[in-house]
C-alpha cells in the first residue's frame, strides 16, 4: 500500500475518502479553492493546499495545478472522488504518467464508457440488453426526426459524453425536436466540452436500477448488489435504496452477470457502477457505466459491511480484494440532503447555514461536510449531506428514515428534507409504484411551514427560528420568523417564503427578475421582440442546474439587461416587458 493520498475533490466525498485513508494509516492531502479555505475536508486532512479561485475551472478542474501540488506534497496516489475530474481519461493518464497511483479504472476504460456511443457498442458486444437507439452522433434536428419516426415518440436526446441528466431532453412530439436538440447540444457542450448527442427510445415509467461492481488485478470480480435510484427530479437522483424492490433472485442473477460482462468488455478495474433502465415487467436495458465511486455507494456499504473506498485503495495498490463473496443483509436507503427548495421546483438555494444538527441512533449514518456558518456556493453542486439508514427490511428502513429526517435540523437555506418526508409518506412509494418521473408527474409537494403575516415589511429579510415554551406544564416547540442573525462574521439570510409553488420571475410592472443567484448561459430574445406569456426569455444556471426564465405576461421587450456569461444575484432585473 502507498503511504500518502491526495484527494482531488471537495465536500462530503473528500471528507469520506480522507476518513478511510486515515484509518488505513495514510498521510492525507486535501486541495481547496479559495472559497473552501475553511471547509471540513481541509480541516480533517493532514495537510491542505490552495489550488485556485472559486470557479471550478480555475481550481478543482485545473489539472496542471493539482498535479503540481501532488508533486510538491509528495503524494503517492490520487483519489478523484466523484464529479469534477473523476471520469476524465486525460487526467487519469497524466496522473499515471507522473508516476502517481491512480485510484480508479484504466484511462482506456474511462474513455470507452465516458462516451455514450462507444459505451453502447461495448455493452452490445458484451451481450447486455440494449434500449433501441443510435450508435452514431446526430448532427441535426432533421436527423433526430427521422430516427423518431422509426422508433416512435417519445424519444430521449442524450449527451454522448456525459450523464447525471445533463444534456438530456425527452421529446414527445415533432414540434419539440428542434428546441430539445439545440438545448441538449448546448448543455452537453457546456458541461462536457463536446456537443455530440445521440437518440434512444424513451421507456415510459422506467425504474432506474444500477449494479455496483468491483474488479481487481488478481482475477477477482464482484457484483455487490443493485441500487434502485428511481426517485428523481430533473433526471437526477434524490433517494436511492438497496435491494431494489423490483428484483427477484433470478432477475438479480442475470442483472449482476450483465454488469460484470460490461466491465470485462472495457477491461475494467476498481469500483464502478453499471446503470440500467427497467420496465414494469422487470426487463432491464443498459444505460451507461459510471467509471468512479457513486454518490450512493453508501447504501451498498450499509448492507454488505464493506468499505468501498478501502477496497478501491487496495485495488489501486495492486492488492486483491479483501473478500471473495458478499451476502447483503437488510435494506438501506439514502436521502440526498440538497440545498434546494422543493416547494419552488427544487430551485437551488445558495446561502449560509445558520443552524445545523445531524440525526443519529442505531442504523443511521450521515456523510456530510456542513457546520453552522458553512456557505453553500453557487459555484458547486448543492449536495450538503447524505442521510443513510439501515433496517432489517424495507418497512423498517422507511420508518427509521422518517424518524431521522424529522431529527435533522438545517436553518438558513431551504433543503430537500420536507420532500423526502412526503415521499416516505406517499402510498405509491410504500407500494413500490414509483418511477423516474413519478415525483414530478404525480406528487404534489405541500409546504407545512407557516407563512409570515403580509403586514411585515416586504423588504425585511427573515430566517425561520424556533423556541421552546411551556404551557400548562407541557413543552412545545414554536416556530417564528425573525431578522437573520450574524454567523461567522457574515449575515445568514433567508428570504421569507412566498406563496407560489414553482420558480419563476416576478411580473410587477412587467419587470422580470432573477429567481436566484447564477449565470446567464443563453438569451432567447432581443430588445424590441414581442413575447407571449410563458415564452422563454433566458436560461439561468445555478449549482449545475439550468433554469428557464419565462415571460410572466405578453408584450414587447423594452429593456434587456443580460447577455450570456453575465452573473446575476437573486432579484436582479433581467428584462422589462411593456
Over residues 56-75, the pLDDT tens digits come to 999 999 999 999 999 999 99
User: Is residue 280 predicted with pLDDT exceeding 60?
Assistant: yes
CA 60/CA 53 separation, integer angstroms:
9
Q: What is the mean pLDDT of residues 102-126?
A: 94
Total Cβ atoms within 10 A of residue 214 = 25
Name the pairing type of β-strands 27-33 and 47-52: parallel
Q: What is the pLDDT of residues 384-396, one digit of tens each?
A: 999 999 999 999 9
Please check whether residues 180 and 240 belong to one and the same domain. Answer: no
Please check whether residues 16 and 29 belong to one and the same domain. Answer: yes
Total Cβ atoms within 10 A of residue 74 = 12
CATH of the domain at 281: 3.30.470.20
Does residue 478 lie in a domain region?
yes
According to DSSP H, which parts of 277-330 are helical?
Answer: 297-304, 308-316
**DSSP for 216-245, written as a single string:** -TTS-EEEEEEEEEEEEETTEEEEEEES-T
Q: Could you tell me the residue range of the domain that residue 33 belongs to?
A: 4-103
User: Is residue 578 predicted with pLDDT exceeding 90?
Assistant: no
**DSSP for 199-218, written as a single string:** EEEPPSS-EEEEEEEEE-TT
Please check whether residues 124 and 265 belong to one and the same domain. Answer: yes
Does residue 451 lie in a domain region?
no
CA 114/CA 163 separation, integer angstroms:
9
Q: What is the pLDDT of residues 495-542, one digit of tens each?
A: 333 333 344 444 556 889 988 878 898 899 998 899 988 888 998 887
Q: Whole-prediction pTM value?
A: 0.79
Contact 292, 329 (CB under 8 A): no
Residue carrying C-alpha cell 435504496: 241
CA 277/CA 207 separation, integer angstroms:
6
Does residue 373 lie in a domain region?
yes
Short-list 206, 201, 162, CA closest to 184: 162
Q: End of a domain among 329, 350, 376?
A: 329
Please check whether residues 31 and 151 belong to one and the same domain. Answer: no
Residue carrying C-alpha cell 453553500: 376
Q: How many domains does the chain have?
A: 6
| Residue 189 confidence class, pLDDT cut points 50, 70, 90 | confident
- 569, burial (CB in 10 Å: exposed 0-12, middle 13-18, buried 19+): exposed
Looking at residue 459, what is its pLDDT? 42
Please check whether residues 8 and 143 belong to one and the same domain. Answer: no
Please check whether residues 8 and 137 belong to one and the same domain. Answer: no
Please check whether residues 221 and 241 belong to one and the same domain. Answer: yes
CA 143/CA 151 separation, integer angstroms:
13
Q: What is the pLDDT of residues 193-223, one digit of tens each?
A: 889 999 988 888 999 999 999 999 999 999 9
Does residue 81 lie in a domain region?
yes
CA 550/CA 568 separation, integer angstroms:
16
Question: Strand, helix or coil at 42?
Answer: helix
Amino acid at each position: 500500500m502507498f503511504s500518502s493520498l491526495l484527494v482531488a475533490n471537495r465536500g462530503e466525498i473528500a471528507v469520506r475518502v480522507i476518513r478511510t485513508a486515515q484509518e488505513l494509516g495514510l498521510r492525507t492531502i486535501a486541495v481547496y479553492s479559495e472559497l473552501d479555505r475553511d471547509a471540513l475536508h481541509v480541516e480533517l486532512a493532514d495537510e491542505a493546499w490552495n489550488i485556485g479561485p472559486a470557479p471550478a475551472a480555475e481550481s478543482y478542474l485545473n489539472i496542471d495545478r493539482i498535479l503540481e501540488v501532488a508533486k510538491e506534497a509528495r503524494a503517492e496516489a490520487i483519489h478523484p472522488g466523484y464529479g469534477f475530474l473523476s471520469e476524465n481519461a486525460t487526467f487519469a493518464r497524466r496522473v499515471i504518467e507522473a508516476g502517481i497511483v491512480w485510484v480508479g479504472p484504466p484511462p482506456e476504460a474511462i474513455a470507452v464508457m465516458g462516451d455514450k456511443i462507444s459505451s453502447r457498442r461495448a455493452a452490445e458486444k458484451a451481450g447486455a440488453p440494449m434500449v433501441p437507439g443510435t450508435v452514431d452522433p446526430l448532427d441535426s434536428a432533421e436527423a433526430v426526426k427521422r430516427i423518431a419516426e422509426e422508433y416512435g415518440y417519445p424519444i430521449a436526446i442524450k449527451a454522448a459524453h456525459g450523464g447525471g441528466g445533463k444534456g438530456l431532453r425527452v421529446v414527445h412530439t415533432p414540434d419539440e425536436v428542434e428546441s430539445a436538440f439545440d438545448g441538449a447540444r448546448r448543455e452537453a457542450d457546456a458541461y462536457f466540452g463536446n456537443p455530440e448527442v445521440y437518440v434512444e427510445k424513451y421507456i415510459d415509467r422506467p425504474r432506474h436500477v444500477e449494479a455496483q461492481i468491483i474488479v481487481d488485478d488478481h482475477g477477482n470480480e464482484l457484483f455487490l448488489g443493485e441500487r434502485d435510484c428511481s426517485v428523481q427530479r430533473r433526471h437526477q437522483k434524490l433517494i436511492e435504496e438497496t435491494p431494489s424492490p423490483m428484483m427477484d433472485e433470478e432477475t438479480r442473477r442475470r442483472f449482476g452477470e450483465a454488469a460484470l460482462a460490461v466491465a470485462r468488455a472495457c477491461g475494467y478495474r476498481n469500483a464502478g457502477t453499471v446503470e440500467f433502465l427497467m420496465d414494469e415487467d422487470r426487463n432491464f436495458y443498459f444505460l451507461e457505466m459510471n467509471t468512479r465511486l457513486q454518490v450512493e455507494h453508501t447504501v451498498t456499504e450499509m448492507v454488505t459491511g464493506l468499505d468501498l473506498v478501502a477496497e478501491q485503495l487496495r485495488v489501486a495498490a495492486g492488492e486483491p480484494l479483501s473478500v471473495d463473496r458478499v451476502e447483503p443483509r437488510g435494506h438501506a436507503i439514502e436521502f440526498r440532503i440538497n440545498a434546494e427548495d422543493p416547494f419552488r421546483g427544487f430551485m437551488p438555494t445558495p446561502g449560509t447555514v445558520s443552524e445545523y444538527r445531524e440525526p443519529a441512533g442505531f442504523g443511521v449514518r450521515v456523510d456530510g461536510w456542513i457546520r453552522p456558518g458553512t456557505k453553500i456556493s453557487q459555484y458547486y453542486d448543492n449536495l450538503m449531506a447524505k442521510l443513510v439508514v439501515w433496517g432489517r427490511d424495507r418497512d423498517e428502513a422507511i420508518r427509521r428514515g422518517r424518524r431521522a429526517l424529522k431529527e435533522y435540523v438545517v436553518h438558513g437555506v431551504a433543503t430537500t428534507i420536507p420532500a423526502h418526508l412526503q415521499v416516505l409518506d406517499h402510498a405509491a412509494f410504500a407500494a413500490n409504484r414509483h418511477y423516474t418521473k413519478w415525483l414530478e408527474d404525480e406528487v404534489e409537494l405541500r409546504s407545512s411551514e407557516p407563512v409570515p403575516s403580509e403586514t411585515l415589511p416586504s423588504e425585511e429579510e427573515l430566517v425561520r427560528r424556533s423556541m421552546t415554551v411551556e404551557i400548562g406544564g407541557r413543552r412545545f416547540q414554536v416556530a417564528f420568523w425573525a431578522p437573520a442573525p450574524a454567523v461567522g462574521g457574515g449575515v445568514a439570510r433567508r428570504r421569507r417564503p412566498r406563496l407560489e409553488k414553482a420558480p419563476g420571475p416576478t411580473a410587477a410592472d412587467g419587470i422580470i427578475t432573477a429567481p436566484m443567484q447564477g449565470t446567464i448561459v443563453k438569451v432567447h430574445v432581443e430588445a424590441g421582440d414581442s413575447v407571449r406569456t410563458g415564452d422563454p426569455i433566458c436560461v439561468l444556471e445555478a449549482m449545475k442546474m439550468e433554469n428557464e426564465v419565462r415571460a410572466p405576461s405578453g408584450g414587447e421587450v423594452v429593456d434587456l439587461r443580460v447577455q450570456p456569461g453575465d452573473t446575476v444575484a437573486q432579484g436582479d432585473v433581467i428584462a422589462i416587458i411593456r
